[in-house]
Structure 1
Amino acid sequence: MVARSFNRAERVSGQVKKVLSDLILKGISDPRLSRATITGVSMSKDLRIAKIYFAAHGGKDDQQDLAAGFESAKGFIKRELAKELGLRYMPDLKFFYDASFDYGAHIDRVLKTIRSDDGKHYPTPEEQ
């Protein structure tokens, strides 16, 4: 089995995600961001741009509130990341809402509806 080697952008992405997640838990005083979860970070190959993906505990309704919170805390986040990462250039941070959790919840609701409909139309073996 050959071990996959990670390139520098992938390693830095992982570090950014870890540091940013810790900041949300402990360091950022903006109450809007306490409802956020960092779901992924994607760095450009030259490490100049960090695309940060987040999900909201309140779902899509919190999306704009969280985006505004991240924009207002961007300077603080960049300073804290600079301290932790020690990069020559601090990447430009771009925040994006990750709708995959909303989609997963939607699929779950559809499956539950199918199961409940299935029980109404088809008797279980015990009922026969």
Structure 2
Amino acid sequence: MGEPRRPDRVAEAIREEVATFLAEGAKDPRIRAFVTVTAVDVTRDLRHATVFVSLMGDEADKKKTVEGLASVATHLRSKLGKSLRLRSAPEIHFRADESVARASRIESLLAQIRDEREQQEPTAPGDATGDAGPSTD
């Protein structure tokens, strides 16, 4: 029964190793954008790992960074095999995770709506707030 959880444990270990590698040992000059490992998805047979990364920077830097990450994937695979002591290390595939950028965009839109509503609110006391409603004496 422990088998379904093993890919999850391996995915978490891979996430930690990849984050450490990118923070300390990535030597590819194309990796220019700020990279954060957000998640790792590992197939049940542990042969493939999709690493989701959040990239901060302009579009050109993001594109170059994705190319750089793809080029270090084989080196990273051998490093993972040694550090995690797996019989065969999974193939590493990097994917841009747009969820952080999407959440930031949604947050800014909500803030903009809030600001617009505050500017349109009536300033007279009791208008549309229900504070000075009719008395029930």
* TM-score normalised per structure 2: 0.79
Compute the RMSD of aligned alpha carbons. 2.2
Which residue of 1 is the match for residue 15 of structure 2? 17
Specify every segment of 5 or more residues in structure 1 that has no aligned partner in the other structure, as ranges: none
Distance apart, 1:78 and its partner CA: 1.1
Letter in 1 for 2:16: K
**How many percent of aligned residue pairs carry the same amino acid?**
26
Which residue of 1 is the match for residue 106 of structure 2? 107
Match of 1:30 among 28, 31, 51: 28
| Equivalent-residue separation in structure 1 for 2:11 and 2:32 (angstroms) | 20
| Equivalent-residue separation in structure 1 for 2:5 and 2:53 (angstroms) | 23
| Equivalent-residue separation in structure 2 for 1:99 and 1:106 (angstroms) | 11
More helix by share: 1
Distance apart, 1:57 and its partner CA: 2.0
SS of the residue 1:7 aligns to: helix
Residues matched between the structures, number: 123
Distance 1:124 1:21, change over 3 A: farther
Distance 1:53 1:125, change over 3 A: farther
Please tell me whether the aligned partners of residues 25 and 34 of structure 1 are also in contact (alpha carbons under 8 angstroms): no
* TM-score normalised per structure 1: 0.85
User: Which structure is richer in relative contact order (CA contacts within 8 A, separation 6 or more)?
Assistant: 1
Letter in 2 for 1:41: V
**Greater C-alpha radius of gyration:** 2
Please tell me whether the aligned partners of residues 60 and 99 of structure 1 are also in contact (alpha carbons under 8 angstroms): no
| Equivalent-residue separation in structure 2 for 1:78 and 1:106 (angstroms) | 34
SS of the residue 1:90 aligns to: coil
| Equivalent-residue separation in structure 1 for 2:107 and 2:60 (angstroms) | 18
